[in-house]
């Protein structure tokens, strides 16, 4: 048997470890996962998967007999070990008796499956979902594709699987230029592993293609609910192991992190690494990271070493950390051409939305945050803002987001934290048509002493602070938009002032106390402007002024009006 390689250690260096020693220091939630009963997936007989092409069907039941042929429920095998003696060919099905538990692992290797048009199906039969309880991975797919995994519960042994294995582990170990296509994961409940689902490769430019995860709950694992990874990223020759990963209608919760791990981040919901063309949508990540004590922490949903990532219509809330990070959404080092839009973040220890890179400047760029909502994020540490742009980030657009910090006790976190290294000249960082509002004593916009604001452009935003200084900019404080504009040249275009100051007049701004299901993202109307709000119709025409593609719809899914407004919707 070929031993599965462990996922590489993600060496992301986050804010506390990167900036705290640098020149920026002056002077020196209830589980609301997929409701399987409502969807008719639990408490009812499992419907057999649709057969694309006829193949053999093998059954396994704790009441079976390993000397039987396994070809019917009446002649089911008894153990998962028995299934290892059979190569599963394209179109075959391996079905476990619903409502029962089996010990061990299902393993598919290069001689199994392989045809995405005729997938091998691993699933349940009878009433409810079968459970696999494993000291290793529950299902391990090595160097093959064309596999459908559905309607199962996977639980790991606390003393082994929790420390070293993925519940569903896909691993490619082959020369460059080859991809294993067609992995579908549907209606799984996975807990008790290092990662709920992991998609890995030992080689750049080879891995898995067309991987889908849907209607699954990934919870109470150690490091993450979902993680994809590849070999160390080469900034001189960027490449990615995987392509076309789609995650939808999935919950990643209570993946709390490793309190004993100090060299890497743990405790995330969904991590996309080493992938080109990935989508996360209609999913939720919450209560992750509470036991993470390393200098770098997790996020609800984030990406690194990846290109063309779309993260949309998700909820990320109540994520925690004992040290750094612990936020909602993050585009991290070596991410390019990616969009985070129409998401809701609230009540996180770290930033609601962050872009960060400590890598060479040409490896992070062309990324966008648009039409997102953050309420009461950055609750733990004042070296973050609810919106944080930090490090070697460039060619960034942040527009039509609503970012609110409500009155609270704790650190005086700013609404926006902009920390660019000394002598840094990004191609462009634009912040336009956003709502930045605070009832806390932290600043609306904070740029540390020694940071370089070159090419950072604030234009057309709404600012409101009821308590703290409005602008804390390179060591100086400004209590009004006008004074900040006069001193810095921000919020000015072609010698004309831009931006507005004052109460944005939102409908009912508040922090939700429950986990908002991802299906209800657009129903969070508390941040809508009232009828006579100054936000309506007072935004800048971003396409005309800056050549920005707005995407066509706001946070609520409404078409963008001819006269641009400020905020998410």
pLDDT value of position 52: 44
In which band, very low, low, confident or very high, does the pLDDT at 381 lie, cut at 50, 70 and 90? confident
pLDDT at 42 over 80: no
91-130 tens-digit pLDDT = 999 999 999 999 999 999 999 999 999 999 999 999 999 9
3-state secondary structure of 542: helix
Residue 3 has pLDDT above 80, yes or no: no
Give the torsion sign (CA, 295, 300, 130, 199): negative
| pLDDT for position 440 | 86
Average pLDDT over residues 142-153: 99
Tell me the whole-structure pTM to 2 decimals: 0.91
Query: What would the mean pLDDT of 525-536 be, rounded to a whole number?
Result: 96
pLDDT cut 90: percent of the chain above it: 74
Report the pLDDT value the prediction gives residue 19, as an integer from 0 to 100.
32
Q: Where does the pLDDT of residue 32 fall: very low under 50, low under 70, confident under 90, or very high at 90 and above? A: very low
* CB crowding 235-250: b at 16 or more within 10 Å, else e: eeebbbbbbbbbbbbb
Average pLDDT for 44-70: 77
Pairing of strands 471-473, 456-459: unpaired
Cα distances (Å, whole numbers) of residue 227 to 279, 295, 301:
13, 20, 10
pLDDT of residue 43: 38
Pull the structure tokens for residue 146.
């064309």
* Mean pLDDT to the nearest integer, 516-540: 96
| Longest CA span, the chain | 85
pLDDT tier for residue 453 given thresholds of 50, 70 and 90: low
Other residues' Cβ atoms within 10 Å of the Cβ of residue 208: 26
**Dist CA 111 CA 341 (whole Å):** 41
Task: Please say if the pLDDT value at position 536 is more than 90.
Answer: yes
**Per-residue pLDDT tens digits for 286-331:** 999 998 888 888 999 999 999 999 999 999 999 999 888 899 999 9
Instruction: State how far the alpha carbon of 268 is from the alpha carbons of 257, 260, 404, 523, in Å.
Output: 7, 16, 23, 26
* pLDDT tens-digit map of 183-201: 999 999 999 999 999 999 9
* Residue 44 three-state SS: coil
pLDDT, position 493: 93
Q: Of 219, 211, 246, nearest to 141 (Cα)?
A: 211
Phi, psi of 481 (to 5 degrees): -60, -40
What is the DSSP track for 206-228?
-EEEEEEEES-EEES-SSEEEEE
Note the pLDDT of residue 7: 39
**Res 236 pLDDT > 80:** yes
pLDDT in tens, 389-424: 998 898 999 999 999 998 666 678 899 999 887 666
In the chain, count H helices and then E strands: 5, 42
As given in the structure block, the two tokens for residue 479 are 């209590």
SS3 487: helix
As a whole-number percent, the residues of the chain with pLDDT over 70 amount to: 87
Kindly report the average pLDDT of the chain as a whole number: 88
Q: Which residue has the higher pLDDT, 105 or 14?
A: 105
Degrees (nearest 5) of the Cα angle 533, 534, 539?
125
Give residue 259's pLDDT band: very low, low, confident or very high (50, 70, 90).
confident
pLDDT of residue 158: 83
CB 326 within 8 A of CB 297: yes
Contacts for 293 with CB less than 8 Å, ≥ 6 apart: 257, 259, 261, 262, 322, 323
Q: 47: pLDDT confidence band, cut at 50, 70 and 90?
A: very low
Mean pLDDT to the nearest integer, 468-497: 93
Predicted pLDDT of residue 215: 99
pLDDT reading at 283 higher than 50 = yes
pLDDT at 252 over 80: yes
User: Of 1 and 92, which is predicted with more confidence?
Assistant: 92
- Report the candidate in 442, 351, 468, 366 with the shortest Cα–Cα distance to residue 401: 351
Task: Return the minimum-mean-pLDDT range out of 236-240, 243-247, 324-328, 447-451.
Answer: 447-451
Q: pLDDT class for 467, splitting at 50, 70, 90?
A: confident
- 407, 379 contact by CB (below 8 A): no
Identify the pLDDT of residue 206.
Answer: 95
């Amino acid at each position: 048997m070929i031993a599965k390689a462990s996922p590489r250690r993600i060496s992301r260096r986050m804010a506390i470890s990167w900036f705290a020693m640098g020149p920026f220091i002056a002077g020196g939630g209830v589980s609301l996962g997929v409701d399987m009963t409502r969807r008719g997936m639990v408490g009812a007989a499992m419907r057999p998967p649709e057969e694309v092409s006829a193949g053999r069907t093998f059954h396994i039941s704790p009441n079976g007999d390993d000397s039987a042929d396994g070809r019917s429920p009446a002649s089911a095998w008894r153990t998962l070990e028995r299934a290892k003696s059979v190569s599963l060919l394209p179109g075959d099905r391996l079905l476990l008796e619903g409502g029962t538990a089996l010990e061990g692992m299902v393993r598919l290797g290069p001689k199994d499956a392989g045809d995405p048009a005729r997938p091998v199906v691993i699933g349940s039969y009878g009433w409810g979902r079968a459970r696999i309880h494993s000291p290793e991975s529950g299902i391990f797919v090595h160097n093959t594709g064309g596999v459908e995994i559905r309607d199962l519960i996977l639980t790991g042994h606390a003393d082994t699987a929790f420390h070293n294995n993925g519940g569903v582990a896909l691993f490619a170990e082959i020369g460059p230029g080859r991809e294993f296509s067609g992995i579908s994961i549907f209606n799984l409940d996975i807990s008790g592993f290092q990662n709920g689902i992991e998609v890995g490769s030992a080689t750049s430019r080879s891995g898995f293609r067309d991987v889908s995860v849907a209607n699954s709950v990934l919870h109470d694992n150690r490091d993450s609910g979902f993680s994809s990874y590849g070999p160390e990223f080469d900034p001189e020759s960027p490449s990615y192991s995987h392509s076309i990963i789609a995650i939808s209608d999935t919950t990643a919760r209570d993946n709390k992190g490793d309190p004993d791990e100090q060299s890497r981040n743990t405790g995330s919901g969904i991590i996309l690494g080493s992938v080109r063309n990935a989508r996360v949508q209609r999913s939720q990540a919450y209560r992750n990271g509470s036991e993470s004590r390393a200098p770098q922490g997790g996020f609800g949903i984030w990406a690194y070493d990846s290109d063309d990532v779309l993260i949309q219509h998700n909820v990320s809330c109540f994520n925690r950390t004992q040290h750094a990070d612990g936020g909602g959404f993050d585009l991290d080092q070596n991410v390019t051409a990616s969009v985070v839009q129409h998401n809701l973040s609230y009540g996180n220890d770290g930033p609601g939305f962050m872009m960060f890179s400590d890598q060479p400047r040409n490896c992070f760029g062309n990324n966008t945050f648009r039409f997102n909502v953050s309420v009461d994020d950055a609750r733990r540490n004042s070296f973050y803002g609810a919106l944080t742009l930090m490090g070697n980030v460039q060619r960034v657009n942040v527009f039509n987001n609503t970012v609110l910090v409500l009155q609270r006790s704790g650190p005086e976190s700013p609404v926006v934290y902009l920390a660019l290294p000394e002598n840094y000249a990004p191609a462009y960082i634009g912040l336009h048509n956003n709502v930045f509002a605070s009832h806390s004593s932290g600043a609306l916009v904070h740029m540390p002493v020694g940071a370089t604001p070159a090419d950072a452009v604030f234009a057309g935003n709404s600012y409101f602070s009821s308590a703290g200084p409005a602008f804390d900019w390179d060591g100086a404080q400004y209590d009004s938009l006008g004074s900040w504009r006069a001193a810095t040249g921000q919020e000015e275009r072609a010698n004309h002032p831009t931006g507005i100051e004052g109460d944005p007049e939102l409908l009912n701004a508040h922090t939700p106390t429950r986990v908002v299901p991802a299906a209800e993202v657009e129903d969070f109307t508390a941040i809508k402007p009232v009828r006579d709000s100054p936000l309506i119709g007072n935004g800048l025409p971003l396409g005309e002024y800056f050549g920005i593609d707005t995407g066509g719809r706001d946070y609520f899914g409404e078409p963008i009006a001819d006269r641009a407004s400020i905020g998410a919707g």
